[in-house]
Structure 1
Amino acid sequence: MELRDIEIFLTLAEELHFGRTAERLHVSQARVSQAISQQERRLGGALFDRSNRRQIRLTPLGRQLRDDLHPIYEGLRDSLERARLAAQGVTGVLRLGSMGVQGWMIQEIVDRFRAAHPDARLEHRELNPVDPLTPLREGELDIAHLWLPVNEPDITVGPITHSSPAFLAMAKTHPYADRESVSLEDYGDLTFMGHRSPIPASMEEVFQPFHTPSGRPIARGPIISDWEGQLKAASSGQAVAPTAAEAIDFYPRPDLVYIPVRDAPPIRWAFAWRATDTNPLIRALADAVDTATGDTATGDTATDTDTDTDTDD
C-alpha cells in the first residue's frame, strides 16, 4: 500500500465522506474511490459500509486497519519531515519559555537544535512558574518547558528532558531547618504559599499537594506572584517554598536552607506546545530531545482543575 493510499484511507476514515476527503487532500473524488477500492480488493474485504448514500461507515475490518495504520503513518510522516528539515535547514523564529535554572538544564538540547538549524532564530525567554500556561495559550510563546503532568486538551506534551529531586526552601530559623529531610506527611505542619493564577490542580500537586498522605490539609499562606517572591517569603519565615534540586546551586542565600523531601517522586520536565500550532521549529526542538534521551512523556492521566498553585524554578 502506497503512502498516499494510506493517507487517503485514514482521511476518509476520519471524514466518512468521499467529497470532503477529496477536497481536504486536493485530489478528485474518483481518485479517493479508486484508492479505497484497490485496497479492499487487496485485503479481500470491505473497509467501508456504503449502504447509506449520505453517510458511509467503517466496517469492523476498516476500524482495525485504521487503528493499526494510524500510528505507523504518523511515524513515517514525522520521519520524512525530520529528514526534510535536516536536509534543507529550517528558517523562522521559535519562542521558547523556561523557568530560571531549568533553562540551563536544557542548554545542551538548545545547542543541539541551533547546530542542526543555524538559519532559525531561537528566542529564549523567562517563564513565570506561578502562571506557566497562559503565555503559551495566548501565543506569546511557541513552546514552553514545563513540569509534568500537563493534561490539557489544547496542549501537546513532548519528550521528557530530565527529572529533578524535590526539595523545600525555608528560613534558617525555621523549626524544620535542621532536619536532614522531610516527608510529605510533614507538609501538614508547614505553610506553603498562595497565589491568584489559573493552573491545573494536577500540576500544583507536584510541588505542594492539598492534603498529606493521611488526609491532613496543607495550609496556604502569603500570596506571591513569582519565584523571587517565593524566595523572599521563605527567607522571612512566612512559608516554605517547594523547589527542584537544581535551585540549591543557582539560588544560594545565607538566610535559606534546602531540605530534601525523601518520599516525593521526582519532578519530570518536558516541552509542551499548543496542539494547533504547526510551526515546524517546534518539532525540530522536540527532536533534539529525542536524540538526547529517547524518552517521552506518557501516563499522565490526572484530571485537570483550575486552582491556585505555588511552584518554582
Structure 2
Amino acid sequence: MNNKLRSIPDPHCGLCMLGLLLFCLTYPALGMAGEFDTYRYKLEENNNDKVCTHMEDVFSKYFKKPFSTISDEDVYVKDGGVLPPLLPGAKDDLHSFVTMLHSFQPTSPEFDAIKWKVGKLITRTAGELDTQNTPFIAADMGLNNDGQIETFIKFGFMTCYNFYSGGCRPTDSWSVFHKGDIDLLNGPINWDMPIQGQNGHRPLAVMLEDYDCRVIRPFIYDGVTYLSCYSQNWGKNGPDINRSTPDREYTEVLKYQGVEKLPFPDGRTLLKAKTVCRFRMTVAK
C-alpha cells in the first residue's frame, strides 16, 4: 500500500486563519457547481479487493449525487431535519444543516456507523461572548484500529465546490483527541478548543486546511475504521477563475496511521495514511 503524508499546519500558526474560518461557517454558500451532477466511480487503485469492491458498490449506489444540497427551510422542516443528536448548546436549524451537509450526507450503513453529535462553538467579539450558532460535529471511534478510542472533531466544513465561489470554505478542518481528553458535554465550547485542547490536553492532530482531502469522512466496514477522502486535481496551473470544474476528481479510502512531526526548522505535522482504494469520479453524461 502507498503511504501518504499530508501537511497539517502548526496549530499556533493556524490561529490567524480562524477569523476567515468562522466567517465561512457563519455564511455558508448554499450551492456549488457540481450540485446537480451525477457521478460514476471507477476503481483506479486497489490494495484490498474486499474493501474496494464493496466501497465501489457503496459509492455507486449511495453517492451518485455527492454534492446535492437542501437550502430551503420548508424542505428541511418537512423532512423533520436530518442533524445528528445535539450536544449541550447546539441548535437544530437549516443554517447548521447546510454548513455541515457534506459531512454526513449522502450516507450509507458504513457511514451511519459513525455516531456523530452536533455541538456549538462560542466566539468572542470585542471581549464579549458571541452566541451565534457556529457548529461542529464530534464522534468517538477507533480511528487507529488499535483497540483505543479517539474523539474526532470536525469544526470546519467544505461549503464550496471550487475556489472561486466566494464567502465559503473550500476544505474541512478537524482534530483528533484521546477519548476523555476533551469534554464536549459542558457546551457550548470555546472556538479554539478543538485546536488548542482543554485542561492541558493537546490534540493528537489538527488539520486546518487540506486541499488534498477537501472532504474527509470516517466510516466503518467489517469492524475497521477508514477515511473517505474527496479531492480535486486542477492540473499543473491550478484553479482558474474561468473554469468551474476541476480536471479530475477522486474519492480515496484511507487508513489513518497517526501523525509525524518534522524536525526544526520545518516543524510541520504530517498526517500519515495508507491508500486502500482510489476511485476516479466522472460526471455521467
Higher share in helix: 1
Structure 1 or 2, whichever has the larger Rg, is: 1
Higher share in strand: 2
- TM class by smaller structure: under 0.3
TM-score, length-normalised on structure 2? Answer: 0.24
